[in-house]
């Protein structure tokens, strides 16, 4: 099974997943990708995970699973977000799964915000990173735009509110 984490940052997800795979005796291969040269430079584990730092070329191999947590909603402008998601869709094998977590409205409301970003959405935070929230419907619409069919996009849990703190979705190609 081929697995790719997009926007792996300090590798907390991939490290955890690797441990869990090992416990179960699975031989799945996890790769990681990020656009930040900084992480790859100080994380020696990027080598272990065949880490890629990409600017113009996204990994194209057919993956069984791609996952990404708290990355998409930190990308500005909107067209770059759409582009990343279409690359992810293309990189999946038919039947492959994309697991994605977004910060939801309830958590973003708590963030210290400064200026409104261009294109009328999102904010620059005090830490000078961009942030916007996705509610469940917005997240689904974003994934449909990338190519996923509506019937193949499922929230990972039952939400009591349409505007939760975090939105976790699994989309199947
Ligand atoms: C908030 S961090 C989340 C890191 C990690 N996913 C986690 O949950 O701990 C966002 C990460 O996304 C990366 N990133 C931002 N834009 C990206 C893009 N277009 N493609 C891949 N990674 C991106 C950043 O460099 C950063 O490492």
Chain segment 151-172, per-residue pLDDT in tens: 999 999 999 988 899 999 999 9
Answer whether 70 contacts ligand 1 (Cβ < 6 A): yes
Measured distance CA(89)–CA(101) in Å, rounded: 16
Q: Provide the terminal-to-terminal Cα distance of the chain, rounded to the nearest Å.
A: 16
Answer whether 169 contacts ligand 1 (Cβ < 6 A): no
Under 8 Å CB-to-CB from 63, ≥6 apart: which residues? 2, 3, 4, 91, 92, 93, 96
Q: For position 113, what pLDDT does the model report?
A: 67
Q: pTM to 2 decimals?
A: 0.94
User: Which residue out of 3, 4, 7 has the highest number of ligand 1 atoms within 8 Å of its CB and is therefore the one to mutate?
Assistant: 7
Q: How far is the CA of 94 from the centre of ligand 1 (A)?
A: 25
Measured distance CA(58)–CA(87) in Å, rounded: 7
Which of 3.40.50.150, 2.140.10.10, 1.10.760.10, 3.40.50.10260 is the CATH number of 2-104+134-172? 3.40.50.150
Of ligand 1's atoms, which has the minimum distance to the CA of residue 9?
Answer: 27
The whole-number average pLDDT for the span 16-36 is 92
Q: How far is the CA of 27 from the centre of ligand 1 (A)?
A: 25
Domain ranges of the chain: 2-104+134-172
Picking from 45, 31, 39, 103, the residue whose alpha carbon sits closest to that of residue 74 is 103
Q: Which residues pair with 120 in a beta bridge?
A: none
28-74 pLDDT, tens per residue? 889 999 998 888 888 888 888 888 888 778 887 899 999 999 999 99
């Amino acid at each position: 099974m081929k697995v790719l984490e997009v926007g792996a940052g300090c590798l907390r997800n991939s490290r955890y997943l690797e441990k869990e795979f090992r416990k179960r005796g699975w031989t799945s291969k996890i790769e990681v990708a990020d656009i930040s040269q900084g992480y790859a430079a100080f994380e020696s584990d990027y080598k272990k995970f065949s880490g890629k730092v990409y600017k113009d070329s996204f990994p194209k191999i057919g993956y069984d699973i791609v996952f990404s947590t708290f990355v998409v909603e930190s990308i500005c402008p909107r067209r770059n977000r759409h582009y990343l998601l279409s690359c992810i869709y293309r990189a999946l094998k038919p039947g492959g799964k994309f697991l994605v977590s977004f910060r939801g409205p309830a958590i973003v409301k708590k963030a210290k915000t400064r200026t409104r970003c261009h294109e009328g959405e999102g904010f620059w935070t005090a830490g000078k990173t961009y942030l916007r929230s996705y509610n469940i419907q917005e997240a689904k619409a974003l994934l449909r735009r990338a190519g996923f069919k509506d019937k193949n996009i499922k929230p990972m849990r039952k939400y009591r509110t349409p505007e939760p703190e975090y939105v976790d979705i699994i989309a199947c190609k």
